[in-house]
Amino acid sequence: MKKNEAPARHARISLLFNANKAYDRQIIEGIGEYFYASQCDWDIYIEEDFSVHHLNENILSGSGIIADFDDAQLAAQLSQIAMPVVGVGGSYSNREDYPGVSYVATDNEALVAAALHHLTEKGIERFAFFGLPAEAGKRWAQERAAAFRRLTCDMAFPGMLYEGMVTDSNTWETAQQKLAEWLHSLPAHTGIVAVTDARARHILQTCEHIGIAVPESLCVIGIDNEELTRYLSRISLSSVVQGTRRMGFEAARLLDNLLSGRRVSSEPVIVAPESVIARQSTDYRSIIDAMVVKAMGFIRKNACRGATVEQVLEAVGTSRSNLDKKFMTELGTTIHKVIQDEKFARAKELLETTSLPVAEISRLCGYSTPQYFCTVSRQNLAMTPIKYRSSRNGMTRA
């Protein structure tokens, strides 16, 4: 034991989070990783429904607290108590905005920068941001919007920002109409950074409803990599992965140091994003011809429903020779090949991300029989769907 370091003792720790959010759930996982790895002598209290209702005597008589400081009311209450508290929340551009407790933050500017970098690598030159209005009370959302303004202010084209409305079941339709108007106002080939995956999903749904092709006309990237809702849109969403588990781990380490009498820096711990997960919504190829853009939108929506070349031609309103010529000019391939590639890309994604039986994936992706799907898989991957899934699972475990 180091000099001046208090001996380890039993401690009763409260975790105050609302784990209906993926962000909070992953922070709790990170706290659990530290607890398990360090074998610290903690008795952890968390509400059975994993949400914060109010500060009760059981919480306030404990040894320490790790809490969601994005909840402004909770943060204000906890900043006034004497016991060791570690806050977890968003970063701030002004040092004075951080609370007067030990604090671990997601790096809001780095999250937006990672999204913009991903779009830039795809060849996008115009950028927009879909945020949240101030009345939503989300400081982290305002910080991300401010970061977007700073990061795009010196670009060739000024960044375009839209906050939209706070949505619920009563305002959803009006909010979608206003969002549609904003999306129609954007120049073609704009990359949109959404403040969360939830807001990004609003964009994807609205684009589908009003006939804007994603990613051919607009690209969309979210922040959170929210697994729970990833299947609630036809186009899979690219997203920036926050370092939430690392945040939880660092918060638990801070609290352990506080309880053990170790020196703790007054500076906040800022955790960078982990990575960008690239999916269909930013699978951008610069397509100038409006007829090809329209055809691609139809193919993405209908390829797995058995769309034929003739149906694409009917939707676009042209001849096969004309459209095939345009496809060869823009994409270097034929309409038929694009349809087949789209079907197989979806099937491959389902093999990677779901446990659906191969026969069901074959059916959902428009293949006549599972046997034919296996033949296509061998042609594209040099292995059967089952072997491909097994190889991917092995990579994930590694």
Interval 244-267: pLDDT, tens = 999 999 999 999 999 988 888 889
Q: 372 pLDDT exceeds 80?
A: yes
Burial of 147 (0-12, 13-18, 19+ CB in 10 A): buried
pLDDT at 274 over 60: yes
Mean pLDDT of 55-60: 82
6 has a pLDDT exceeding 70: no
Least confident segment among 42-51, 67-76, 77-86, 303-312? 42-51
| Structure confidence at residue 395 (pLDDT) | 52
Residue 54's pLDDT band (cuts 50, 70, 90)? confident
Whether pLDDT at 362 is above 60: yes
Q: Is the fold of 11-105+243-274 the same as that of 109-242+278-282?
A: yes
Half-sphere exposure of 291 (CA within 13 A, CB side): 18
Residue with tokens 């020196």: 263
pLDDT at 398: 34
Q: In this model, does residue 5 exceed pLDDT 60?
A: no
What residue type is 255 in one-letter code? L
User: What is the pLDDT confidence band of residue 394, given thresholds at 50, 70 and 90?
Assistant: low
Secondary structure letter of residue 237 according to DSSP: P
- At residue 350's C-alpha, the angle toward residues 199 and 370, to 5°, is 150
In CATH terms, 109-242+278-282 corresponds, of 3.40.50.300, 3.40.50.2300, 3.40.640.10, 3.40.50.620, to: 3.40.50.2300
**Confidence at residue 296, expressed as pLDDT on a 0 to 100 scale:** 86
Sketch the domain layout of the chain as residue ranges.
11-105+243-274, 109-242+278-282, 290-397
Q: What is the mean pLDDT of residues 189-197?
A: 96
Asked whether 213 and 297 are in contact (CB, 8 A), the reply is: yes
Dump pLDDT digits (tens) for 203-224. 999 998 998 989 989 999 999 8
Q: For residues 316-326, give the mean pLDDT.
A: 92
Average of per-residue pLDDT values in the chain: 90
Q: Is 178 exposed, middle or buried (0-12, 13-18, 19+ CB in 10 A)?
A: middle
**Average of pLDDT values for 72-87?**
90
Res. 397 pLDDT band, cuts 50 70 90: very low
pLDDT at 396: 46
Residues 204-211: contacts with CB under 8 Å, at least 24 apart: 204/233, 204/234, 204/235, 204/237, 204/281, 205/176, 205/233, 206/176, 206/179, 206/180, 207/183, 208/233, 208/234, 208/235, 208/301, 209/176, 209/180, 210/180, 210/183, 210/184, 211/297
| pTM of the predicted structure, to 2 decimals | 0.80
Hey, how many other C-beta atoms are within 10 angstroms of the C-beta on 268?
18
Lowest mean pLDDT among 48-52, 165-169, 189-193, 347-351: 48-52
The CATH topology of domain 11-105+243-274 is Rossmann fold (3.40.50)
According to CATH, what is the number of the domain 290-397? 1.10.10.60
